[in-house]
Amino acid sequence: MTAAGDAKALVLDFGGVVSKTLFETHDLSEKALGIAPGSLTWMGPFDEATDPLWCDMQAGIITERDYWLARTRELGALVGEDWTEMAQMLKRVRGDDPMAIMRPEALAAIETARKAGRKLAILSNELDLFYGADFRSKLPFLQDFDLIVDATYTEILKPDPRAFAFITDGLGLSAGECVFVDDQLKNIRGGEAVGMQCVHFDVMAPGKSYAQALELLGLIPA
């Protein structure tokens, strides 16, 4: 078993972990859509009392894709349009500069891992499905990644063990040599089940979560 500090790869979920959540950027979304400030009140994990639909997703009543499709349709209706794909919503609310909503803590951790010679991977359930196929070209730091596994194409969703196998096989590493960071507990449980070292990302304390991941990589003192 790989000891903490001996891991060789940083494996990241994307939405919420690398990029800020839509909940954190309601003001930017409202401005981009031309709707009144305060129109968007659902806050997901930041205030579950405002978001029964999020609670249904966390309880397994609906999937994450179901949740965001519902929000997509809701926002489309607010601007008098029929949106059926999350990419339509994200293109409108994220604008032409997606780097502006990347977490600075994520970019710093990625750079630290890269400089230390650790491998970098993305394991996402819906990267291109949600953001659109041209999204990656606007994020230059993704060029530093050794591997991007996107269930938009594999159709194997976390926490299925086969999703994690794409990472270990692609990087040529054991599960124990990978530090996996995700904001969904069910995915963390999936990573733990296959033997990865896991960090349950806290969207309300991103710096702390990335510090924990870097510690497992042996890149900062305990």
pLDDT in tens, 130-140: 888 888 888 99
Same domain for 85 and 166, yes or no, is no
- Looking at 98, 116, 149, the residue that finishes a domain is 98
Confidence of residue 44 (pLDDT cuts 50, 70, 90): very high
Taking the C-alpha atoms of residue 79 and residue 25, their distance in angstroms, rounded to an integer, is: 18
Categorize the per-residue pLDDT at 2 as very low, low, confident or very high, splitting at 50, 70 and 90. Answer: low
Percentage above 90 pLDDT, the chain? 81
Q: What's the pTM value of the predicted model, to 2 decimals?
A: 0.89
77 plus 158 within the same structural domain: no
**Per-residue pLDDT tens over the stretch 94-123:** 867 889 899 999 999 999 999 999 999 999
Give the model confidence (pLDDT) of 70-85 as tens digits.
999 999 999 999 999 8
The domain tally of the chain equals 2
Q: Is the pLDDT of residue 221 over 60?
A: no
Say if 88 falls within a structural domain: yes
| Residues 122 and 65 both lie in one domain | no
Are 120 and 28 contained in the same domain? no
Do both 153 and 46 map to the same domain? no
Task: Indicate whether 212 belongs to any domain.
Answer: yes
Does 155 lie in the same domain as 194? yes
List the beta bridge partners of residue 11. 121, 180
Mean pLDDT for 37-47 is: 96
* Domain of residue 170, residue span: 9-19+102-216
> Are 207 and 131 contained in the same domain?
yes
Residue 222: which pLDDT band, with cuts at 50, 70 and 90? very low
Residue 9 near residue 121, CB atoms below 8 Å: yes
User: Torsion angle, CA of 67/152/206/100, rounded to 10 degrees?
Assistant: -100
Dihedral of the CA atoms 31, 25, 123, 90 (nearest 10)?
A: -20
HEC letters along the chain = CCCCCCCCEEEECCECCCECCHHHHHHHHHHHHCCCCCCCCCCHHHCHHHCHHHHHHHCCCCCHHHHHHHHHHHHHHHCCCCCCCHHHHHHHHHCCCHHHHECHHHHHHHHHHHHCCCEEEEEECCHHHHHCCCCHHHCHHHHHCCEEEEHHHHCCCCCCHHHHHHHHHHHCCCHHHEEEEECCHHHHHHHHHCCCEEEECCCCCHHHHHHHHHHHCCCCCC
Q: Is the pLDDT of residue 129 over 90?
A: no
144: domain CATH number? 3.40.50.1000
The candidate with the shortest Cα–Cα distance to 6, out of 193, 201, 178, 192, is 178
Examine the fold and report which residue of 71, 98, 125 is the final residue of a domain before the chain moves on: 98
Same domain, 86 and 116: no
The domain boundary, picked from 83, 98, 113, lies at 98
Let me know: does 102 contact 139? Beta carbons within 8 Å: yes
Confirm whether 222 is domain-assigned.
no
Band of pLDDT at residue 91, cut at 50, 70 and 90: confident
Chain centre to alpha carbon of residue 220: 23
Describe the strand order of the beta sheet including 147-150 as a list of residue ranges: 147-150, 119-124, 9-12, 178-182, 197-200
146 and 209 fall within a common domain: yes
One-letter amino acid identity for 187? Answer: N
Mean pLDDT of the chain: 93
